[in-house]
Amino acid sequence: MLLVLGSGVKEFCSKNILVILGFSCVIAVIALIAVGVTQNKPSPENVKYGIVLDAGSSHTSLYIYKWPAEKENDTGVVQQIEECKVKGPGISKYVQKINDLNIYLSECMERALKVVPSSQHQETPVYLGATAGMRLLRMESEESAARVLDVVTRSLSSYPFNFQGARIITGQEEGAYGWITINYLLGKFIKAQNWFYLAYPESNHEETFGALDLGGASTQITFVPTRHSESEEDSLYFRLYGKDYEVYTHSFLCYGKDQALWQKLAKDIQTANGGILRDPCFHPGYEKTVNISDLYKTPCTKKFKRTLPFEQFEIQGTGDYQQCQQSIVELFNTSYCPYSSCAFNGIFLPPIEGDFGAFSAFYFVMNFFNLTSKVSRDKVTEVVRNFCSRPWNEVKTSFVGIQEKYLSEYCFSGTYILSLLLHGYHFTNNSWDHTHFIGKIEGSEAGWTLGYMLNLTNMIPAEKPISKPLPYGTYVFLMVFFSLILVAVFSIGIFIFHKSSFSHKEGV
């Protein structure tokens, strides 16, 4: 009797101990998951903001960026949260109406005051970078350019942000910052550390994208060539995330699409019949009167300046793609090259290689033609040729919502992009197939502004930052997965123990 009673007490105690251990194990698993989730979850409130104004030749745009404060030196964490296009032309056009600049930026800056929390205003940096339009104005008159920047500086300084200055950036900077932007957003500089990366580091390496930027007054080409540059002035050296980059970059001032059109008109009017220019880059039936004084107002047309027997001339469109391209190609002087390879005008250009991201006007024009997806060069040529040949009245009827100035120039712009890439930069069919027309990447505008801010805020470190071995999502998944395994193993142990106890009873 005592033997049976002792056995029962022992079994009762064993069961209670198992229950207590099981309950403790479940609590421990829940606590483990909870601690892991709460400890590693980034605070959504701890964020920073930055504002960059792109003062281009034809317009100004304001961009607002946001990023987690604790991840300032990480990759791919900066997000564009707002874009505001300033009404009116570029700031260089206000040189004769300088006082209008006082309210020029007000609407977009007021928008920024609402988007950025008021508690963050004083610590939010604001940068204004002026590009080729102001570079041209400075070539004409340094005093005028300085006066424009002074008024813009006073206007931006009146807002409660941390204004960091307004300056004219160089063409080389514009190209380099555009290259940084797209490769940062594409995650080309650094890859997240994970098990796959640690096991196969070679397989996770990707080459950077080249950058093609087209504005109204200049165009930039930037990429990492496989051989050393023959022109030191076209080379930049970066150390980003522990890797060295030798970058080729060149900015062709006066070869943005607007200034290129002025160059072409100034060249062609010299051989025109009287005051009429029959232009193949405009649609049949299109007519427009141009003042000679406007034609020679820009420094880009000075080399074509002649004394003409008329003060105005009339453009009459003929809509011939082939002739339009021939006229454009004459702008690219390829008759001499002091290097092993050149673009045009004697400028060194390494052989084109790798993938390219083409943005700004490259994208906007191709988007108009619905050609931003992977389309062959021949298909693009066919679409632009057919568009150019359409009568002007038909085009106006088909595209009612587009301003006439822009609509009338799409034939030229499409032909110019093809001519610039194929004849200016010597892209081949293979190069064309590796060119991607990009508007935005992960919601952020492709362009120089983000790269500019990243550089000035030192958010891209020279050395590779120490990062967690696992991404947050993977970490939580593994915590849950292994915890469930632990519970399952413990449950199976209880089951086996009970089965063993039951067999022992039967034996007794």
| Of 437, 406, 435, the residue nearest 422 (C-alpha) | 435
List residues bridging with 356 in a β-sheet: 210, 435
Work out the burial of residue 296: count CB atoms within 10 Å of its CB; fewer than 13 is exposed, 13-18 middle, 19 or more buried: middle
Give the CB-side neighbour count of residue 170, counting CA atoms within 13 A.
Answer: 8
- C-alpha span between 502 and 258 (Å, rounded): 90
Catalytic annotation, pick one of 11, 174, 330, 394: 174
- C-alpha span between 34 and 54 (Å, rounded): 45
79 is in an annotated binding site: no
- C-alpha span between 439 and 436 (Å, rounded): 10
Give the CB-side neighbour count of residue 189, counting CA atoms within 13 A.
Answer: 27
Helices 257-268 and 321-329 pack at an angle, to 10 degrees, of 90
220 is in an annotated binding site: yes
Contacts 24+ apart (CB under 8 A), 395-401: 395/283
Alpha helix segments (H runs only) across 236-291: 257-268
123 belongs to the catalytic site: no
219 is in an annotated binding site: yes
- Residues forming the active site: 174
- Annotated binding site: which residue ranges? 216-220
- Annotated binding site for ATP: which residue ranges? 216-220
